Amino acid sequence: MNEMIPGIRPTIRDVHPYVAGKTTEQVRRELGLSSVVKLGSNENPYAPFPTALEAMQAALATIHTYPENSFVELRRRIGSLYDLSGDHVAIAHGAGGMLETIARAFVQPGDEVVTLSPTYGLYREISRFMGAEIVTVPVAEDHATRMEDLVAAVTPATKIVWLCNPNNPTGTVTRPADLTPLLDALPPHGWVVVDEAYAEFADAEVLPDSVSAVRSGRHVIVVRTFSKAYGLAGARMGYALADPATITAIDTVAEPFNANRVGIAGATATLDGGLAEVRAAVEKIRNGRARLEAALAELGMEVVSTHTNFVFFALPDGHQADAVADALLHRGVIVRSAAGWGYPRHMRVTVGTEEENETFLRAFREVLDG
Protein backbone atom coordinates (compact mmCIF):
# COMPACT_ATOMS: atom_id res chain seq x y z
CA MET A 1 0.00 0.00 0.00
CA ASN A 2 1.83 3.08 -1.26
CA GLU A 3 -0.67 5.80 -0.31
CA MET A 4 -1.89 6.06 3.25
CA ILE A 5 -5.43 7.09 4.09
CA PRO A 6 -5.53 9.73 6.85
CA GLY A 7 -6.00 8.07 10.21
CA ILE A 8 -5.23 4.55 9.00
CA ARG A 9 -2.86 2.50 11.14
CA PRO A 10 0.66 3.01 9.69
CA THR A 11 1.53 -0.70 9.91
CA ILE A 12 -0.98 -1.41 7.13
CA ARG A 13 1.69 -0.04 4.78
CA ASP A 14 3.74 -3.20 5.34
CA VAL A 15 0.87 -5.72 5.18
CA HIS A 16 0.06 -7.71 2.05
CA PRO A 17 -3.55 -8.82 1.62
CA TYR A 18 -4.19 -12.56 1.78
CA VAL A 19 -4.30 -14.07 -1.72
CA ALA A 20 -6.78 -16.91 -1.82
CA GLY A 21 -6.86 -19.59 -4.50
CA LYS A 22 -9.24 -19.09 -7.38
CA THR A 23 -12.75 -20.50 -7.04
CA THR A 24 -14.49 -22.69 -9.60
CA GLU A 25 -17.08 -19.97 -10.16
CA GLN A 26 -14.36 -17.40 -10.83
CA VAL A 27 -12.56 -19.60 -13.35
CA ARG A 28 -15.78 -20.51 -15.16
CA ARG A 29 -16.68 -16.84 -15.43
CA GLU A 30 -13.26 -15.56 -16.47
CA LEU A 31 -12.33 -18.33 -18.92
CA GLY A 32 -15.76 -19.44 -20.11
CA LEU A 33 -15.20 -23.04 -19.02
CA SER A 34 -18.05 -25.42 -18.27
CA SER A 35 -16.03 -27.92 -16.24
CA VAL A 36 -13.49 -26.95 -13.58
CA VAL A 37 -11.58 -29.09 -11.06
CA LYS A 38 -10.42 -27.18 -8.00
CA LEU A 39 -7.22 -28.55 -6.47
CA GLY A 40 -5.75 -25.31 -5.19
CA SER A 41 -7.18 -24.65 -1.73
CA ASN A 42 -6.73 -27.96 0.13
CA GLU A 43 -10.45 -28.54 0.61
CA ASN A 44 -12.05 -31.92 1.32
CA PRO A 45 -13.56 -33.23 -1.94
CA TYR A 46 -15.81 -35.75 -0.18
CA ALA A 47 -17.70 -33.22 1.94
CA PRO A 48 -20.14 -31.94 3.04
CA PHE A 49 -20.93 -35.06 5.03
CA PRO A 50 -24.59 -36.04 5.54
CA THR A 51 -24.52 -35.72 9.32
CA ALA A 52 -23.21 -32.16 9.22
CA LEU A 53 -25.38 -31.14 6.27
CA GLU A 54 -28.59 -32.24 7.95
CA ALA A 55 -27.78 -30.32 11.13
CA MET A 56 -26.74 -27.22 9.20
CA GLN A 57 -29.95 -27.20 7.19
CA ALA A 58 -31.96 -27.45 10.41
CA ALA A 59 -29.99 -24.56 11.90
CA LEU A 60 -31.24 -22.23 9.17
CA ALA A 61 -34.57 -22.03 10.98
CA THR A 62 -32.89 -20.04 13.78
CA ILE A 63 -30.46 -18.04 11.65
CA HIS A 64 -32.31 -14.84 12.55
CA THR A 65 -31.05 -15.08 16.14
CA TYR A 66 -27.54 -14.82 17.58
CA PRO A 67 -25.82 -18.03 18.65
CA GLU A 68 -24.85 -18.65 22.25
CA ASN A 69 -21.76 -16.51 22.74
CA SER A 70 -20.01 -18.93 25.10
CA PHE A 71 -20.34 -21.99 22.80
CA VAL A 72 -20.51 -24.20 25.90
CA GLU A 73 -21.62 -27.44 24.20
CA LEU A 74 -19.26 -27.20 21.24
CA ARG A 75 -16.33 -26.35 23.48
CA ARG A 76 -17.15 -29.32 25.70
CA ARG A 77 -17.31 -31.68 22.73
CA ILE A 78 -14.02 -30.40 21.30
CA GLY A 79 -12.33 -30.65 24.68
CA SER A 80 -13.45 -34.26 25.08
CA LEU A 81 -11.51 -35.16 21.90
CA TYR A 82 -8.31 -34.28 23.74
CA ASP A 83 -9.25 -35.20 27.31
CA LEU A 84 -9.52 -31.51 28.18
CA SER A 85 -12.33 -29.48 29.68
CA GLY A 86 -14.26 -26.97 27.62
CA ASP A 87 -12.42 -24.25 29.52
CA HIS A 88 -9.34 -25.17 27.46
CA VAL A 89 -11.10 -24.34 24.17
CA ALA A 90 -11.74 -21.06 22.31
CA ILE A 91 -13.82 -20.79 19.13
CA ALA A 92 -13.30 -18.50 16.13
CA HIS A 93 -14.24 -17.87 12.49
CA GLY A 94 -11.87 -20.49 11.06
CA ALA A 95 -8.26 -21.07 12.04
CA GLY A 96 -7.43 -17.75 10.38
CA GLY A 97 -9.78 -15.90 12.70
CA MET A 98 -8.19 -17.60 15.68
CA LEU A 99 -4.67 -16.70 14.53
CA GLU A 100 -5.68 -13.06 14.16
CA THR A 101 -7.24 -13.06 17.63
CA ILE A 102 -4.07 -14.54 19.14
CA ALA A 103 -2.00 -11.84 17.46
CA ARG A 104 -4.26 -9.13 18.90
CA ALA A 105 -4.01 -10.68 22.35
CA PHE A 106 -0.22 -11.08 22.46
CA VAL A 107 1.72 -9.06 19.91
CA GLN A 108 2.77 -5.46 20.60
CA PRO A 109 4.87 -3.06 18.49
CA GLY A 110 8.54 -3.99 18.73
CA ASP A 111 7.93 -7.63 19.69
CA GLU A 112 9.75 -10.24 17.68
CA VAL A 113 7.86 -13.11 16.09
CA VAL A 114 9.59 -16.09 14.53
CA THR A 115 8.24 -17.92 11.50
CA LEU A 116 9.45 -20.39 8.91
CA SER A 117 9.99 -19.76 5.21
CA PRO A 118 8.07 -20.94 3.34
CA THR A 119 5.00 -21.31 5.51
CA TYR A 120 1.45 -20.00 5.80
CA GLY A 121 1.73 -16.31 4.99
CA LEU A 122 -0.98 -15.10 7.38
CA TYR A 123 1.42 -15.41 10.33
CA ARG A 124 3.70 -12.79 8.85
CA GLU A 125 0.97 -10.37 7.80
CA ILE A 126 -1.03 -10.35 11.05
CA SER A 127 2.24 -9.89 12.97
CA ARG A 128 3.27 -6.99 10.74
CA PHE A 129 -0.11 -5.39 11.27
CA MET A 130 0.43 -5.51 15.03
CA GLY A 131 3.84 -3.82 14.61
CA ALA A 132 6.06 -6.82 15.24
CA GLU A 133 9.53 -7.46 13.89
CA ILE A 134 9.54 -10.61 11.73
CA VAL A 135 12.37 -13.13 12.13
CA THR A 136 12.33 -15.65 9.27
CA VAL A 137 13.96 -19.07 9.48
CA PRO A 138 14.42 -20.90 6.15
CA VAL A 139 13.54 -24.58 5.96
CA ALA A 140 16.27 -27.07 5.08
CA GLU A 141 17.12 -28.12 1.53
CA ASP A 142 14.82 -31.15 1.97
CA HIS A 143 12.09 -28.67 3.06
CA ALA A 144 12.08 -29.97 6.64
CA THR A 145 12.08 -27.69 9.67
CA ARG A 146 15.56 -27.29 11.16
CA MET A 147 14.65 -27.06 14.82
CA GLU A 148 18.14 -25.98 15.82
CA ASP A 149 17.76 -22.93 13.55
CA LEU A 150 14.33 -22.16 14.94
CA VAL A 151 15.63 -22.39 18.52
CA ALA A 152 18.62 -20.19 17.65
CA ALA A 153 16.23 -17.52 16.31
CA VAL A 154 14.52 -17.13 19.70
CA THR A 155 15.71 -14.09 21.67
CA PRO A 156 14.57 -12.26 24.83
CA ALA A 157 12.34 -10.16 22.55
CA THR A 158 10.50 -13.15 21.07
CA LYS A 159 6.76 -13.05 21.75
CA ILE A 160 5.45 -15.76 19.40
CA VAL A 161 6.92 -18.58 17.35
CA TRP A 162 4.41 -19.45 14.63
CA LEU A 163 4.79 -23.15 13.82
CA CYS A 164 2.66 -24.68 11.07
CA ASN A 165 2.74 -28.43 11.62
CA PRO A 166 2.38 -30.11 9.18
CA ASN A 167 3.74 -27.17 7.26
CA ASN A 168 1.91 -25.44 4.42
CA PRO A 169 2.99 -25.44 1.56
CA THR A 170 5.72 -28.08 1.98
CA GLY A 171 3.71 -30.80 3.79
CA THR A 172 6.65 -31.61 6.06
CA VAL A 173 6.42 -32.08 9.83
CA THR A 174 8.17 -30.99 13.00
CA ARG A 175 9.04 -34.24 14.73
CA PRO A 176 7.89 -35.27 18.24
CA ALA A 177 11.25 -34.63 19.95
CA ASP A 178 11.54 -31.11 18.54
CA LEU A 179 8.78 -29.23 20.37
CA THR A 180 10.25 -29.39 23.89
CA PRO A 181 13.60 -27.73 22.99
CA LEU A 182 11.69 -24.91 21.35
CA LEU A 183 9.47 -24.41 24.40
CA ASP A 184 12.53 -24.52 26.65
CA ALA A 185 14.18 -21.75 24.60
CA LEU A 186 11.31 -19.28 25.06
CA PRO A 187 11.68 -16.19 27.26
CA PRO A 188 9.13 -15.94 30.13
CA HIS A 189 6.67 -13.97 27.98
CA GLY A 190 7.15 -16.08 24.82
CA TRP A 191 4.67 -18.52 23.27
CA VAL A 192 4.66 -21.17 20.56
CA VAL A 193 1.50 -21.23 18.45
CA VAL A 194 1.22 -24.62 16.74
CA ASP A 195 -1.13 -24.49 13.77
CA GLU A 196 -2.28 -28.07 13.20
CA ALA A 197 -4.78 -27.43 10.39
CA TYR A 198 -3.61 -30.56 8.54
CA ALA A 199 -2.87 -32.82 11.51
CA GLU A 200 -5.70 -35.27 10.80
CA PHE A 201 -3.96 -36.33 7.58
CA ALA A 202 -0.69 -37.25 9.35
CA ASP A 203 0.15 -40.34 11.35
CA ALA A 204 -0.10 -39.39 15.02
CA GLU A 205 3.38 -40.73 15.79
CA VAL A 206 5.12 -38.24 13.47
CA LEU A 207 3.69 -35.19 15.28
CA PRO A 208 4.64 -33.77 18.70
CA ASP A 209 2.08 -34.29 21.44
CA SER A 210 1.25 -30.61 21.62
CA VAL A 211 -1.86 -31.23 23.71
CA SER A 212 0.25 -32.79 26.47
CA ALA A 213 2.24 -29.56 26.50
CA VAL A 214 -1.03 -27.67 26.98
CA ARG A 215 -2.01 -29.98 29.86
CA SER A 216 1.34 -29.46 31.55
CA GLY A 217 1.01 -25.67 31.45
CA ARG A 218 3.69 -24.94 28.86
CA HIS A 219 3.48 -21.73 26.82
CA VAL A 220 1.86 -23.34 23.81
CA ILE A 221 -1.39 -22.64 21.98
CA VAL A 222 -2.69 -25.27 19.56
CA VAL A 223 -4.85 -24.08 16.68
CA ARG A 224 -7.07 -26.48 14.73
CA THR A 225 -9.84 -26.21 12.16
CA PHE A 226 -12.98 -27.88 10.84
CA SER A 227 -12.11 -26.68 7.32
CA LYS A 228 -9.87 -29.49 6.10
CA ALA A 229 -10.52 -33.04 7.32
CA TYR A 230 -14.00 -32.14 8.58
CA GLY A 231 -15.01 -30.59 5.26
CA LEU A 232 -16.50 -27.36 6.63
CA ALA A 233 -14.25 -24.78 4.96
CA GLY A 234 -17.17 -22.54 3.99
CA ALA A 235 -18.65 -22.68 7.48
CA ARG A 236 -15.50 -21.02 8.93
CA MET A 237 -15.04 -22.93 12.17
CA GLY A 238 -11.70 -22.96 13.99
CA TYR A 239 -10.57 -23.35 17.57
CA ALA A 240 -7.63 -23.07 19.94
CA LEU A 241 -6.48 -25.28 22.81
CA ALA A 242 -4.64 -23.65 25.71
CA ASP A 243 -4.71 -23.32 29.48
CA PRO A 244 -7.98 -21.77 30.77
CA ALA A 245 -6.42 -18.42 31.71
CA THR A 246 -5.03 -18.01 28.20
CA ILE A 247 -8.39 -19.02 26.70
CA THR A 248 -10.05 -16.31 28.79
CA ALA A 249 -7.60 -13.74 27.45
CA ILE A 250 -8.24 -14.87 23.86
CA ASP A 251 -12.00 -14.73 24.37
CA THR A 252 -11.71 -11.24 25.85
CA VAL A 253 -10.29 -9.75 22.65
CA ALA A 254 -12.34 -11.91 20.26
CA GLU A 255 -15.28 -10.35 18.44
CA PRO A 256 -18.72 -11.13 19.93
CA PHE A 257 -20.52 -14.15 18.45
CA ASN A 258 -17.40 -15.12 16.52
CA ALA A 259 -18.97 -18.24 14.99
CA ASN A 260 -22.25 -18.64 13.12
CA ARG A 261 -25.18 -20.90 13.93
CA VAL A 262 -24.83 -22.97 10.75
CA GLY A 263 -21.14 -23.67 11.34
CA ILE A 264 -21.71 -24.46 15.00
CA ALA A 265 -24.46 -26.93 14.09
CA GLY A 266 -22.30 -28.67 11.50
CA ALA A 267 -19.27 -28.92 13.77
CA THR A 268 -21.30 -30.15 16.76
CA ALA A 269 -23.19 -32.75 14.73
CA THR A 270 -19.95 -34.05 13.22
CA LEU A 271 -18.40 -34.51 16.65
CA ASP A 272 -21.58 -36.14 17.96
CA GLY A 273 -22.24 -38.61 15.16
CA GLY A 274 -20.21 -37.90 12.06
CA LEU A 275 -16.64 -38.84 12.95
CA ALA A 276 -16.87 -42.09 11.00
CA GLU A 277 -17.66 -40.08 7.87
CA VAL A 278 -14.61 -37.90 8.49
CA ARG A 279 -12.31 -40.87 9.07
CA ALA A 280 -13.52 -42.60 5.89
CA ALA A 281 -12.86 -39.46 3.83
CA VAL A 282 -9.42 -38.98 5.38
CA GLU A 283 -8.52 -42.56 4.49
CA LYS A 284 -9.61 -42.00 0.87
CA ILE A 285 -7.52 -38.84 0.73
CA ARG A 286 -4.46 -40.58 2.17
CA ASN A 287 -4.79 -43.38 -0.38
CA GLY A 288 -5.27 -40.85 -3.18
CA ARG A 289 -2.25 -38.93 -1.92
CA ALA A 290 -0.03 -42.01 -2.22
CA ARG A 291 -1.21 -42.68 -5.77
CA LEU A 292 -0.76 -39.02 -6.75
CA GLU A 293 2.77 -38.90 -5.29
CA ALA A 294 3.69 -42.07 -7.18
CA ALA A 295 2.25 -40.79 -10.46
CA LEU A 296 4.13 -37.49 -10.18
CA ALA A 297 7.36 -39.29 -9.34
CA GLU A 298 6.92 -41.48 -12.43
CA LEU A 299 6.65 -38.30 -14.48
CA GLY A 300 10.03 -37.20 -13.15
CA MET A 301 8.82 -34.70 -10.58
CA GLU A 302 10.80 -34.16 -7.37
CA VAL A 303 8.06 -34.93 -4.85
CA VAL A 304 8.34 -33.85 -1.22
CA SER A 305 6.96 -36.53 1.11
CA THR A 306 3.81 -35.01 2.58
CA HIS A 307 1.73 -35.49 5.72
CA THR A 308 -1.20 -33.38 4.52
CA ASN A 309 -3.99 -33.45 1.91
CA PHE A 310 -1.78 -31.81 -0.71
CA VAL A 311 1.41 -32.64 -2.60
CA PHE A 312 4.34 -30.23 -3.00
CA PHE A 313 6.71 -30.97 -5.86
CA ALA A 314 9.38 -29.46 -8.11
CA LEU A 315 9.03 -29.25 -11.87
CA PRO A 316 11.87 -30.32 -14.18
CA ASP A 317 14.42 -27.75 -15.29
CA GLY A 318 13.03 -25.43 -17.93
CA HIS A 319 9.51 -25.35 -16.50
CA GLN A 320 8.20 -22.43 -14.44
CA ALA A 321 5.41 -22.98 -11.93
CA ASP A 322 3.48 -19.82 -12.84
CA ALA A 323 3.35 -20.80 -16.49
CA VAL A 324 2.39 -24.40 -15.78
CA ALA A 325 -0.33 -23.35 -13.31
CA ASP A 326 -1.74 -20.91 -15.88
CA ALA A 327 -1.74 -23.57 -18.59
CA LEU A 328 -3.56 -25.95 -16.27
CA LEU A 329 -6.04 -23.22 -15.39
CA HIS A 330 -6.95 -22.81 -19.06
CA ARG A 331 -7.59 -26.56 -19.13
CA GLY A 332 -9.99 -26.22 -16.18
CA VAL A 333 -7.67 -27.41 -13.38
CA ILE A 334 -6.92 -25.08 -10.46
CA VAL A 335 -3.61 -25.67 -8.64
CA ARG A 336 -1.20 -23.35 -6.83
CA SER A 337 2.15 -22.16 -8.10
CA ALA A 338 4.71 -21.88 -5.30
CA ALA A 339 6.45 -18.93 -6.95
CA GLY A 340 4.83 -16.58 -4.45
CA TRP A 341 6.51 -18.56 -1.66
CA GLY A 342 9.90 -18.18 -3.32
CA TYR A 343 9.86 -21.46 -5.25
CA PRO A 344 9.49 -20.62 -8.95
CA ARG A 345 9.73 -24.27 -10.03
CA HIS A 346 7.50 -25.78 -7.34
CA MET A 347 3.77 -26.43 -7.28
CA ARG A 348 1.20 -27.46 -4.69
CA VAL A 349 -1.77 -29.60 -5.68
CA THR A 350 -4.62 -30.68 -3.42
CA VAL A 351 -5.52 -34.36 -3.31
CA GLY A 352 -8.97 -34.64 -4.88
CA THR A 353 -11.21 -37.55 -5.69
CA GLU A 354 -9.78 -40.30 -7.87
CA GLU A 355 -11.48 -38.76 -10.90
CA GLU A 356 -10.21 -35.26 -10.07
CA ASN A 357 -6.67 -36.51 -9.59
CA GLU A 358 -6.79 -38.26 -12.97
CA THR A 359 -8.12 -35.10 -14.60
CA PHE A 360 -5.19 -33.15 -13.16
CA LEU A 361 -2.61 -35.75 -14.23
CA ARG A 362 -4.02 -35.89 -17.75
CA ALA A 363 -3.91 -32.11 -18.11
CA PHE A 364 -0.48 -31.96 -16.45
CA ARG A 365 0.96 -34.43 -18.97
CA GLU A 366 -0.44 -32.32 -21.80
CA VAL A 367 1.20 -29.19 -20.41
CA LEU A 368 4.58 -30.89 -19.93
CA ASP A 369 4.47 -32.31 -23.44
CA GLY A 370 3.86 -28.77 -24.72
Average pLDDT value for residue range 300-318:
96
**Number of neighbours of residue 170 by Cβ within 10 angstroms:** 28
pLDDT higher than threshold 90 for residue 23: no
Determine the Cα–Cα distance for residues 215 and 84; give it in Å rounded to an integer: 8
pLDDT-derived band of residue 32, with 50, 70 and 90 as boundaries?
confident
Q: What sections of the chain are H helices per DSSP?
A: 24-31, 50-59, 72-81, 94-106, 122-129, 147-153, 179-185, 210-215, 244-253, 261-273, 275-298, 321-329, 354-369
In a domain, 125, yes or no: yes
Q: Which domain does 347 fall in, by range?
A: 10-47+276-369
Pick the last residue of a domain from 249, 274, 299.
Answer: 274
Pick the last residue of a domain from 254, 274, 294.
Answer: 274
- Under a CB-based contact definition with an 8 Å cutoff, are residues 94 and 41 in contact? no
Average pLDDT value for residue range 101-123:
96
pLDDT higher than threshold 80 for residue 12: no
Pick the last residue of a domain from 274, 296, 314.
Answer: 274
CATH of residue 91: 3.40.640.10
Total number of domains in the chain: 2
In a domain, 1, yes or no: no
Determine the Cα–Cα distance for residues 326 and 333; give it in Å rounded to an integer: 9
Determine the Cα–Cα distance for residues 349 and 334; give it in Å rounded to an integer: 8
The pTM for the full model equals 0.94
CATH of residue 281: 3.90.1150.10
Side-chain-facing half-sphere of 269: CA atoms under 13 Å: 21
Average pLDDT value for residue range 29-40:
89
Cα R_g (the chain), whole angstroms: 21
Distances (CA, A) of 80 to 74, 88, 143, 207, 295: 10, 10, 34, 20, 39
pLDDT-derived band of residue 83, with 50, 70 and 90 as boundaries?
very high
Average pLDDT value for residue range 192-216:
97
43 and 148 both lie in a single domain: no
In a domain, 72, yes or no: yes
Q: Residue 3: what pLDDT?
A: 65
Q: Residue 2: what pLDDT?
A: 54
Pick from 92, 95, 137: nearest CA to 119: 137
Read off the pLDDT of residues 289-307 as tens digits, 9 standing for 90 and up. Answer: 999 999 999 999 999 999 9
- For the chain, the average pLDDT equals 95
pLDDT-derived band of residue 19, with 50, 70 and 90 as boundaries?
confident
- Under a CB-based contact definition with an 8 Å cutoff, are residues 130 and 109 in contact? yes
194 and 291 both lie in a single domain: no
In a domain, 162, yes or no: yes
133: phi then psi, degrees, rounded to nearest 5:
-90, 130
156 and 294 both lie in a single domain: no
pLDDT higher than threshold 80 for residue 21: no
239 and 105 both lie in a single domain: yes
Average pLDDT value for residue range 203-229:
97
In a domain, 303, yes or no: yes
67 and 43 both lie in a single domain: no
- Under a CB-based contact definition with an 8 Å cutoff, are residues 321 and 347 in contact? yes
pLDDT higher than threshold 70 for residue 1: no
User: How long, in residues, is the chain?
Assistant: 370
pLDDT-derived band of residue 16, with 50, 70 and 90 as boundaries?
confident
148 and 287 both lie in a single domain: no
